[in-house]
Amino acid sequence: MDLSDVEVSLDLFDVIRSRRSVRKFKDQSVGDEEVVKVLKAGVWAPSAGNLQSRDYVVVRDGEVKRELVKAAEQQFIFDAPVVIVVCANMERASEKYGDRGYNLYSIQDATAAVQNMLLTVHALGLGSCWIGAFDEERVSEVLGLPSGVRPVSMLPIGHPDVDPNPPKRYPLEKFVHEEKW
């Protein structure tokens, strides 16, 4: 892979606000350069003890993608030229943090990376969607994941062929509790 950087130049809050889940892609390739940029965004996410208890599997192969589609029962994944599967490395987190590392920090490490990656995908003018609904065992088997590594999210990445309306958000009052709930 080419390790050079791609220019990203949007105001952060605009990127956060305008990112959408994209489920329809153009028949257009995504270069390694962009994929590396997205991966690096994951690398720079925070992690418990800086152990970076997460791993990434980059899938371009049609046959492997087909298996991922079956595991998720979500056909649009196939149309993305690249799918990055973000995994929690429970084993790595547990070495320092025991059960809490295994069950919680590894998942948090992985999902912090996912959000950075989704924002970077969007800032690059590409689209993706956080895929969380899939048969974990099937994905682990297809990708040959070692034990102690759990697939947490699949990110199909491509050029958007849709401009989704923002789904409504609840008002802050519903979630924000002052001093005590």
**Residue choice 1, 2, 18, 21 for contact with ligand FMN (CB under 6 A):** 21
Is 65 one of the binding residues for ligand FMN (CB under 6 A)?
no
Is 131 one of the binding residues for ligand FMN (CB under 6 A)?
yes
Is 144 one of the binding residues for ligand FMN (CB under 6 A)?
no
Is 74 one of the binding residues for ligand FMN (CB under 6 A)?
yes
Is 162 one of the binding residues for ligand FMN (CB under 6 A)?
no
Which residues on neighbouring strands pair with residue 82, listed in sequence order?
Answer: 157
Is 130 one of the binding residues for ligand FMN (CB under 6 A)?
yes
Which pairs from 11-20 meet CB under 8 Å and 24+ separation?
Answer: 15/119, 15/122, 15/123, 16/119, 18/122, 19/118, 19/119, 19/122, 20/122, 20/127, 20/163, 20/164, 20/166
Cα angle 144, 133, 124 (rounded to 5 degrees) comes to: 85
How many Å separate Cα 87 from the centre of its chain?
Answer: 9
- Return the axis-axis angle of helices 62-72 and 136-143, rounded to nearest 10°: 170
**Residue choice 82, 129, 142, 145 for contact with ligand FMN (CB under 6 A):** 129
- Residue closer to ligand FMN by CB (options 74, 103) is 74
Q: Select from 9-17, 55-63, 128-136, 173-181 the region that touches ligand FMN (CB under 6 A).
A: 128-136
Q: Interface with ligand FMN by CB under 6 A: which residues? A: 20-21, 23, 74, 129-133, 164, 167
